[in-house]
Amino acid sequence: ALMTTEIHPSAVVADGAELDEGVSIGPLCVVGPKVKLGKGTRLVSNVTVDGNTTFGENNEVLPFACIGMIPQDLKYNGEETALVVGSNNRIREYVTIHLASSDGDGETTVGDDNFFMAYVHIAHDCKVGSHIIMANYAGLSGHVVLEDHVVAGGMLGVHQFTRIGEYAMLGGVSRIIHDVPPYVIASGADKAKLYGLNLVGLKRNGFTDETISELKAAYRILFREKLPLGDAIKKIQEEVAYSDKVRHLVEFVQANKRGICR
């Protein structure tokens, strides 16, 4: 049986908007003409979705979220850019997620199964993965990359073009201006520093003891032995089992352009 699409009489849905089956649009929502909402996605009330914005399935968006507005970029001049959001995301009150600017690949992207708490901000050109939790007021500047399974504490800020590695835990009220490697805890209001591996997060997500001890060894060589980066990587390759996770840590650190949080 097809699920019906429900649109409250007080909502404004522009001609051209594409709503899949089971979409629910509550009171006083505004949906623009280029918006596509996937199956079962629900705009609770007072939600605005505009721009060339595509949602996957079963997303829930709470009141006063504004999704797909133009980027907060002075150089932006109305270029055709997009926002693509996956499925099963929970987007709480007053969240803002913006269209891309004209200085990237033209898309802001958000994956699946994320939980963005109230007032979260995701700026133009961000690449946000899946299974991420961002607590209240956490903000991402333009072109930030969040890999999967990141947990971001409340009221933190991430500088533009910074990358955050998978399974990282970012402490609340942190100022993050350098790339944060995967699997670590980073925190600090003046400038975030590393506080070891995110052991609680890794164990919760089923990392084996063996993988964790390999990551511990690699972490120690990279961040505690004060070796030049090239030497540290060579030592890891010689001394530590080069598993997928260790390789990802090394390649992430090698690819940094903004410096690495230490």
In DSSP terms, 48 is beta-bridged to 30, 66
75 burial via Cβ count (<10 Å: 0-12, 13-18, 19+) = exposed
Q: What is the pTM of this model?
A: 0.97
Share of the chain above pLDDT 90, in %: 99
Kindly name the residue from 142, 165, 171, 201 that is annotated as catalytic: 142
Q: Determine the Cα–Cα distance for residues 26 and 18; give it in Å rounded to an integer.
A: 16
Band of residue 13 on the pLDDT scale cut at 50, 70, 90: very high
Kindly name the residue from 38, 40, 112, 124 that is annotated as catalytic: 124
Q: Determine the Cα–Cα distance for residues 56 and 77; give it in Å rounded to an integer.
A: 28
Share of the chain above pLDDT 70, in %: 100
Specify whether 171 is catalytic.
no
Are the folds of 6-143 and 202-254 the same?
A: no
- What b/e readout covers 109-142, taking b as 16+ CB neighbours within 10 angstroms? bbbbbbbbbbbbbbbbbbbbbbbbbbbbbbbbbb
Specify whether 248 is catalytic.
no
Q: What is the pLDDT of residues 36-66, one digit of tens each?
A: 999 999 999 999 999 999 999 999 999 999 9
Band of residue 1 on the pLDDT scale cut at 50, 70, 90: low
Q: Determine the Cα–Cα distance for residues 22 and 26; give it in Å rounded to an integer.
A: 13
Q: What is the pLDDT of residues 217-242, one digit of tens each?
A: 999 999 999 999 999 999 999 999 99
CATH architecture label of 6-143: 3 Solenoid (2.160)
Specify whether 124 is catalytic.
yes
**Domain edges within the chain:** 6-143, 202-254
179-183 average pLDDT score: 99
| Max Cα distance, the chain (Å) | 66
On whether the CB atoms of residues 130 and 109 are closer than 8 A, the answer is: no
Domain spanning 202-254, CATH class = mainly alpha
Kindly name the residue from 125, 165, 178, 201 that is annotated as catalytic: 125
Band of residue 2 on the pLDDT scale cut at 50, 70, 90: confident
Q: What is the pLDDT of residues 145-165, one digit of tens each?
A: 999 999 999 999 999 999 999
107: left (phi over 0), alpha (psi -120 to 50) or beta: beta
